[in-house]
Amino acid sequence: MIMTLQLYLVRHGGTAWSVSGQHTGRSDIPLIPQGEAEARRLAPRLQAVMFTHVLTSPSQRARQTYDLSGVGPKAVIDPDLAEWAYGDYEGRSSADIRAERPGWNVFRDGCPHGESPAEISARADRLIDRLRVLDGNVALFSHGQFSAVLAARWIGLAVIEAQHFRLNTASLSILGYDPHHPEVAVIAMWNTSA
């Protein structure tokens, strides 16, 4: 039986900073009780899928979401699934940043002392190259803005286009291929919640 690759992209559950709108890149903050409940609500949908591989960001919020979702097999920590490194903008809201830097857009401008759009694009492309050789259903536990970049790069768009791919906490998206045109990468499902 020939299997095709499908990427089940899961954004972590809510944290104090996702609620307040603060950029959370490398700060390792946990899920709040609401985020834990969101992650548990993913369980019935994810446990119904047989996964060949499970990868998670190193952050505890992504790992907690994986743990609470009850997905098997054991997750492998993959540093390429980490959130955008926000550098000087870590812990700040977009509105606060734009008060100092009008018109700022992370997908176009990046972050001082953090990742640039070119760097995050290269990281997403490196991950995609590794994922494309896998087969079957692959679960990826990651973050909002990196996942948006991953989706944009999956279908061949520039990083700036990721600004159009908003993700809620504890959402599920699926990246794959068109069954009638298996060489065409598609976003099969986007930003669904349990």
Residues with a known catalytic role? 12, 83
Q: Compute the distance between CA of residue 28 and CA of residue 143 in angstroms, rounded to an integer.
A: 12
Q: Compute the distance between CA of residue 100 and CA of residue 96 in angstroms, rounded to an integer.
A: 7
Radius of gyration of the chain (CA): 16
Cβ neighbour number for residue 135 with a 10 Å cutoff: 13
Q: What is the DSSP letter of 63?
A: H
Q: Compute the distance between CA of residue 110 and CA of residue 1 in angstroms, rounded to an integer.
A: 44
Nearest to 66 by CA among 17, 24, 10, 27: 10
Contact between residue 128 and residue 153 where contact means Cβ atoms under 8 Å apart:
yes
Show the tokens assigned to 130. 């590794």
